Amino acid sequence: MKFSQYHFVDEIKDNLELMGFKKPTDIQYKCIPNILRGEDLLAIAQTGTGKTAAFAIPILHILQTRSHTKRPDGIKCLVMVPTRELALQIHEVFVSIGRNTRVTSYAVYGGVEQGPQIAKLERGIDVLIATPGRMFDLVNQGYIRLGRTDILILDEADHMLDLGFLKDIKDVIRFLPKKHQTLFFSATIDEEIKDLAYSLVKNPVRIQVSPKDPVSKNVDHSVMFVKMDDKRFFLERLVKENPDAKILVFVRTRVRCERVHAAMERVGITSLHMHGSKEQKERLAVLNEFRKGNVRLLIATDVSARGIDIADVDFVVNYDLPEYAETYVHRVGRTGRGTKRGIAYSFCDESEKSLLSAIEEYIGKKVKVLSVEQDDYKEVVDLSGGKTMDLKQILEELAPVQNKRYGVKKGKPRK
């Protein structure tokens, strides 16, 4: 079924067409009718499957068609999200799909002045996207009134629980009118999420898309066995062989992030980099640069990368294997988004093999191995533009990883 065949208001249909959305993804196809009927929902689908539009489209339609005169003032729909980046991103989706409608949306989050946010809220907002901390600050000061908010959406419910927002989620209910619609969206499902969902709503409809293989079928992912100190040569080769590709590289730590960035610089490759010690503003600027494609290589730690949608990432590189198997799924899910296809490579050192096994156990299958012939391996290393690096630099780069074996961490990544 195409979007043009749905009974959405014309503005929404026009916007979807402009955005190049022709037909709904699986999760959108399944969720939209239930949401339009006002049902509570627990929706689970892998990352990159279009969950944002799965709620944004029907919500915009509902709000646009609510009768003019009876539209009470105040926030009608609250979307709670775990991170600021995600708040902004969802706001953008509401803006794009809701262009030329009467529905207004706005994102509030911490880490910035609250003055401008208050000014904007005072002018009246229909859809508020918010991180819990700042939202409760503004609720307590009386700037956010939720008494008329009859739609509550929890996006990335799994990540919200990981970050310890359980109490906040439960608290928000107290401010909402008794009768309201609740929608949970999550990439993964476990007992904790089920408990949460069933504790907040009586009978949510449960919709799940391809639960068996958590990696989207649009992502071709494989592993290469590469020595820790040779990883940079392989990254260099990938970048040089794919000069027009957008490449997102994940590293384990902030220090490694800085180092890989520097190593690329030395061989004449410009890259962006992002990690947790960077100011929020700087992180958003970096994401923007990458999104626009001015610089096509981004080296990042896992921090704030989750849930982030960057269009057209061609390759995801796990420069270091993630310590939590679940993180693997989120990382490779940064490519192959929506209806596109993507490629992910993992560079696995001998010391990381246990991490690879944990990932394979988590996703329930083996990761395809890309074997590199010895000659080819040697060539990648020999042809590097970085062979002239002095010994001191090389030693510095290797120092922290020597003799370290990385242990598998149990449970969920917490940040």
User: 140: burial class by Cβ within 10 Å (0-12, 13-18, 19+)?
Assistant: exposed
Crossing angle between the packed helical segments 132-140 and 115-122, to the nearest 10 degrees = 70
- Residue from 129, 144, 337, 352 touching ligand ADP (CB under 6 A): that is 337
Q: Residue 356 has which token pair?
A: 């690879």
Nearer to ligand ADP, 18 or 311 (CB): 311
Nearer to ligand ADP, 25 or 117 (CB): 25
Establish if 51 lies at the interface with Mg ion (CB under 5 A).
Answer: yes
Q: Which stretch binds ligand ADP (CB under 6 A): 60-68, 272-280, 333-341, 399-407?
A: 333-341
Please report how close the Cβ of residue 333 comes to ligand ADP at its closest, in angstroms: 7
Question: If you count them, how many residues does the chain have?
Answer: 415
Closest Cα to residue 187, out of 226, 224, 216, 153?
216
Per DSSP, what are the bridge partners of residue 105? 127
Please report how close the Cβ of residue 92 comes to Mg ion at its closest, in angstroms: 12
Nearer to ligand ADP, 220 or 258 (CB): 220
Residue 49 contacts which entry, Mg ion, ligand ADP, none (Cβ below 5-8 A, type-dependent): ligand ADP
Nearer to ligand ADP, 132 or 342 (CB): 342
Site for ligand ADP in 298-327 (CB under 6 A): 309, 311
> In the stretch 27-66, what mask flags binding to ligand ADP with x, by CB under 6 A?
-x----------------x-xxxxxxx-------------
Q: Which stretch binds ligand ADP (CB under 6 A): 21-29, 124-132, 198-206, 264-272?
A: 21-29
Alpha-carbon span 342 to 91, nearest angstrom: 25
Reduce the DSSP state of residue 77 to 3 states and report it: strand
Q: How far is CA 50 from CA 30, 166, 188, in A?
A: 12, 24, 14
Residue 53 contacts which entry, Mg ion, ligand ADP, none (Cβ below 5-8 A, type-dependent): ligand ADP
Nearer to ligand ADP, 221 or 252 (CB): 221
SS3 content of the chain, % helix, strand, coil (to 5): 45, 15, 40
Please report how close the Cβ of residue 132 comes to Mg ion at its closest, in angstroms: 17
Buried b (16+ CB within 10 A) or exposed e, 277-307: ebeeeebbebbeebbeeeebbbbbbbbbbbb
Establish if 25 lies at the interface with ligand ADP (CB under 6 A).
Answer: yes
Inter-residue contact 156 to 86 (CB < 8 Å): yes
Binding site for ligand ADP (CB under 6 A): 21, 24-25, 28, 45, 47-53, 309, 311, 337-339
